[in-house]
Amino acid sequence: MDHSKMEARIASGHSATGTGAAANAGSDDKGVADVGTAAALRPQLRAARTAMSEDQRAQANDRIADYLDDWAVQGLTRPMRKGSAQRVLAAFWPLGPEPDLRDWLMRQSADPELMLALPVVVERDAPLVFKRWWPGAPMRDGAYGIAEPDHDQIVTPDVMLLPALGFTAQADRIGYGGGYYDRTLAGFDVAGRKVQTIAVAYACGLLAEGTHVPAPHDRRVDAVLSETGWTPKMPV
Ligand SMILES: Nc1nc2c(c(=O)[nH]1)N(C=O)[C@@H](CNc1ccc(C(=O)N[C@@H](CCC(=O)O)C(=O)O)cc1)CN2
Ligand SMILES: Nc1ncnc2c1ncn2[C@@H]1O[C@H](COP(=O)(O)OP(=O)(O)OP(=O)(O)O)[C@@H](O)[C@H]1O
């Protein structure tokens, strides 16, 4: 989706009612057809995240890394494809105020059983591809200004960390609205590939019960991790 289309979607988004931290901004639009859709919820989710201070974000990033450390020991050891020597863990390079996993990734790069990867937008409205990442890997600015690996080593993730703007207690995920991850996961389904999915969000992205109406193409993730812990529980 190009920038102008994205802005148009945001401009047309209506606020939904709700009691969650992210659901407080402007709620005069009761009754409109798209109340509760991801598009309607994005503006207030963005506002809640932007309202965090740099300090709060840094602290939240540290807490998220702590939870990921526990999971790396207790959970990440499991989903290994038969015959493969390394698990491929796809993460993401932060865009603006997203959770920043870079320090954690840097530390994980020392684990010989892990191969790290980052998403690459190769084509608009198409599935993502994943390329290997290691500290010092050549990078370039890709689509949407997100840094991406600049080489040809495409890999298939066993486990995927996905950025999320919002989430529900049932592990529904709201992203930026490009549909990239939903398309990517749908493609993996067709190919018969199993991938464990973990959305990473700040806790202010939690939507109150009944606030969000997922679309048919929306994929639940196996779990959501925020600075307050796992929703619904650590995936093992
Ligand atoms: N860090 C990160 N990497 C990612 C994603 C993501 O959401 N975050 N993606 C997830 O699909 C894919 C890229 N897709 C994207 C789709 C739309 C926008 C987008 O709408 N950007 C807004 C600005 C967002 C903001 O800063 O608030 C724009 O360009 O107007 C960004 C990425 C792959 N890599
Ligand atoms: N499997 C799919 N096949 C085709 N189009 C899809 C698929 N999944 C999502 N889309 C399209 O992508 C658009 C955006 O989807 P959605 O709002 O769920 O994005 P998102 O999950 O927030 O974004 P992202 O995954 O990029 O972070 C929707 O209009 C939808 O039609």
The response to whether residue 146 sits with its C-beta less than 6 Å from ligand 2 reads no
Residue span of the structural domain in which 113 resides:
3-231
Closest Cα to atom 2 of ligand 2: 183
pLDDT bin (cut points 50, 70, 90) of residue 74 is confident
Domain annotation covers residue 39: yes
The response to whether residue 178 sits with its C-beta less than 6 Å from ligand 2 reads yes
Helix (H) or strand (E) holding 149: strand 147-149
Consult the annotation and say whether 176 binds a ligand. yes
- With 70 as the cut, is the pLDDT of residue 69 above it? yes
From ligand 2's centre to the CA of 186, what distance in Å? 10
Q: Is the preceding peptide bond at 99 cis, omega within 30 degrees of 0?
A: no
- SS3 of residue 138 by DSSP: coil
**What share of the chain in percent tops pLDDT 90?**
76
For residue 100, what are the contacts with CB-CB under 8 A and spacing of at least 6? 57, 61, 94
Domain annotation covers residue 161: yes
The single-letter code of the amino acid at 203 is: A
Q: Tell me the pTM.
A: 0.86
What total of structural domains would you count in the chain? 1
Distance between terminal CA atoms of the chain? 34
Q: What count of Cα atoms within 13 Å lies in the side-chain half-sphere of residue 235?
A: 19
Ligand 1 pocket (Cβ < 6 Å) reads: 3, 6, 46, 92-96, 98, 119, 121, 128, 144, 146, 163, 175-176, 178, 180-181
Domain annotation covers residue 197: yes
Among 149, 145, 76, CA closest to 107? 76
The response to whether residue 177 sits with its C-beta less than 6 Å from ligand 2 reads yes
Mean pLDDT, range 156-166, rounded to an integer: 96
Q: What is the pLDDT of residue 73?
A: 85
Domain annotation covers residue 236: no
CA–CA distance, 22 with 24 (Å, rounded to integer): 6
- Only one residue has tokens 């989430």, namely 167
Mean pLDDT score of the chain, rounded to an integer? 86
Residue 91 sits in a domain whose CATH number is: 3.40.50.10420
From ligand 2's centre to the CA of 158, what distance in Å? 21
Domain annotation covers residue 67: yes
Domain annotation covers residue 166: yes
pLDDT in tens, 83-112: 667 899 999 999 999 999 999 999 999 998
Decide: 48 and 215 in contact? Cβ < 8 Å. no
Domain annotation covers residue 54: yes
Ligand 1 atom nearest to CA at 143: 13
Consult the annotation and say whether 7 binds a ligand. no
Mean pLDDT, range 130-138, rounded to an integer: 98
Consult the annotation and say whether 202 binds a ligand. no
Domain annotation covers residue 47: yes
ipTM of the complex: 0.89
**What share of the chain in percent tops pLDDT 70?**
83
- With 50 as the cut, is the pLDDT of residue 31 above it? no
Decide: 167 and 174 in contact? Cβ < 8 Å. yes
